[in-house]
Amino acid sequence: MHLGRFRVKRTLLCLISTILLLSLVKIYLDPADDIPPGDFKRHLVLGRYGVPAAVDTDLRESGNVTIKAVGLKMVDKNAGGRTSNDLSDEQHMEDKQDSPSSSPTPQAKEELFISDLRKRSNVLIQQCITLRNELEHVKAVQEPPEGLIVDEKHHLLYCVVPKAACSSWKEFFFKIGGFAKDKSLRNMKRKRVLTYFHKLPEEKRKQIYSGLYKFLFVRHPFLRLLSAYKDKMEPNGSYERLHANSDVSTLYFWRDRLGIDIIRTFHGEKTALRMKQNRNEYKMTFLEFVRYLVEYPEHLSTQDRHWKPMHQLCYPCDIKYEFIANFETIETDSEFIRRLVKAELPEKNKHATNSSNLDYAFSYYNTIPKHLKLRLYERYKYDFMLFGYNPKPFF
């Protein structure tokens, strides 16, 4: 008799525990900061984590939108999305690019786009749950990161990721903000022109957060790092070419801020002083740059935004982005944002590096010993895992 009662109690406790667990999962996957029901002021509405809430849209000149329910559901975390570990050795970054043998129809393109969004979303959801106790966290409204640009008029919030088309997207926000088209953001004080979410009063942030369409662009971590090196650190890199007519302190800003310190670390004070005095002798290799990042992580300069892990800039498990855009599919993904706000797309960066060419990128990474690559992967592993990128082609 007592044994029967004990079994009943145990069954009830198990049932209650299961209900509580399911409730917690639902809270995590169904946050309260979603777009309010019926809020269709924006031109295209996506479900959380980038999964479209509706596919069939009719964009009219008036800005109205007809939305049909097409039966798309929230991505199930057991649906089998790809992760960085699932990808085979033969798969390269071309996975993220469309390479059909014949031109697909508009409907087929849209279906491919929706399918890719599902994969990105599924990977992110799975990994956010798996890594929940390993990642740093922020409170999206109370303690937002510093790199969030907001445009209240167009209901947009964009997380800045350096070396993932961020200059073009800053220019985009500059233009839709109503500033003169004949002026460039480069010629103005950016901090004074663009509105950053963390600088708004907390009450204001609370008021507008749920109504903002939140997006970011991510990039393969190793290609992003190479782009940062070629821009900022490589002798006569794109930064120095861009500022060729600037004063010496601006022209050699990155050399003097970090490059000489790296030379000093690996070659001594005498060599560093000689290279600083004789600018033409300056030489700092990609291998030395990588060594410095992985061997001296405590140095403040190794945490610069240009090579800081993306998840530490944008906190994708805490800020519920509606759209995770990829640098590798930038034209398609940018067009999607353009349809949202009915504005011109940002121009391509004229000073972009060539680091997305795989053979070209491999020529740099082939100079890095495997043990250093493994340590470099450890530095960026959460970016690989959260955004579904594959490190294997670089090993």
Q: What is the mean pLDDT of each run of 10 residues along the chain (395 residues)?
A: 51 49 39 32 30 29 27 30 34 43 78 88 94 95 94 93 90 80 55 85 96 95 96 86 82 85 92 87 92 88 90 96 92 86 64 67 96 97 96 95
- Retrieve residue 137's tokens: 């966290």
Q: DSSP of 20-89, one letter per residue?
A: HHHHHHHHHHS-TTSPPTT---SSS-B-GGG-BS---EEE-TTS-EEE------PPPTTS----TTTS-T
Give tens-digit pLDDT for 171-195.
888 888 877 555 555 555 555 689 9
Give tens-digit pLDDT for 49-94.
333 332 222 222 223 322 222 222 223 333 333 333 333 333 334 4
Name the burial class of residue 366, with classes exposed (0-12), middle (13-18) and buried (19+) by CB atoms within 10 angstroms of its CB: exposed
Angle in degrees, CA 319, 160, 87, rounded to 5: 75
Q: Which residues contact 173 (CB under 8 A, 6 or more apart)?
A: 149, 151, 156, 158, 194
pTM for the model: 0.71
Q: Which residues contact 206 (CB under 8 A, 6 or more apart)?
A: 141
pLDDT confidence of residue 110 = 83
Q: Hey, what's the torsion of the CAs at 8, 12, 13, 15, to 10 degrees?
A: 140
Q: Where are the beta strands (DSSP E) in the chain?
A: 57-59, 65-67, 148-151, 156-159, 213-218, 323-326
**C-beta of residue 227 within 8 angstroms of C-beta of residue 360:** no
CA atoms within 13 A on the CB side of 9: 6
